[in-house]
Amino acid sequence: MKVGKRLRAAYGRVEHEKIYSLSEAVALVKQNAMAKFDETVELALVLNIDATKTDQHVRGVAMLPHGTGKQCRVAVFARAAQADEAKEAGADVVGAEDLVEAIQKGELNFDRCVATPDLMPLVSRVAKILGPRGLMPSPKVGTVTVNVGAAVKVIKGGQVEFRSEKGGIIHAGVGKASFEQAALEENVRFFVNLVRDENASLVKGTIIKRLSLSSTMGAGVKFAL
């Protein structure tokens, strides 16, 4: 009942048909984040694309100015010196055949996955497991690379990987509710501008149709830049 009252109060503070300014939206999201943990602030972008066309899929990475506030666990497929490099950079899991076996057993104790190019045939054995979870390494986002140490450091530093989902929607964590208002605003603005600028040529007109912001347990707030 206590949780129910909190949620009702949070939804009651949001005018669901209103388009807020970014500043107003961030303030509302922070105000409504009343869980006992530090809620993630989630950004949703509805894109003006045809998600059934592969040439209109949107995918990329963003290095947010203030990071995400999330401790990202990284798995690396590498051998020998490159495996040592990954460990030194802070990778949480490093391996080759043994990592494939662990994944096949359902051990997915990581949030991002990096691989050296020579091990991609090995990684392909678990593509059906990693792919649907958005964990498959890809050269497009810098997770298939010989410089595994650098890739791990970038990911650990707050890099966000994103891709358009069914319906042409992108979801991304852009910080924590405990972040300062200005930091959250800057992260949101940076992410939206990056998606818009890097994909402007995909469609006629604007690439972004709608924007909304919410916390993990809070109400969605529509806004415009």
Q: What is the rounded average pLDDT of the residues 194-214?
A: 91
- What are the pLDDT digits (tens) for 61-86? 999 999 999 889 999 999 999 999 99
CATH 1.10.8.50 at 74-157, yes or no: no
CATH 3.40.50.300 fits 14-68+160-224, yes or no: no
CA–CA separation, 193 and 177 (whole Å): 21
Q: What is the DSSP string of 74-88?
A: EEEE--HHHHHHHHH
Which residue type, as a one-letter code, is found at position 27? A
Percent of the chain with pLDDT over 70: 95
Domain with CATH 3.40.50.790 in the chain: 74-157
The set of residues, in sequence order, having a beta carbon less than 8 Å from that of 146 and lying 6+ positions away, is 82, 116, 117
Q: Start-end ranges of CATH 3.30.190.20 in the chain?
A: 14-68+160-224
Q: Calculate the average pLDDT of the chain.
A: 92
Q: What are 84-136's pLDDT values in tens digits? A: 999 999 999 999 999 999 999 999 999 999 999 999 999 999 999 999 998 99
What would the mean pLDDT of 6-18 be, rounded to a whole number? Answer: 74
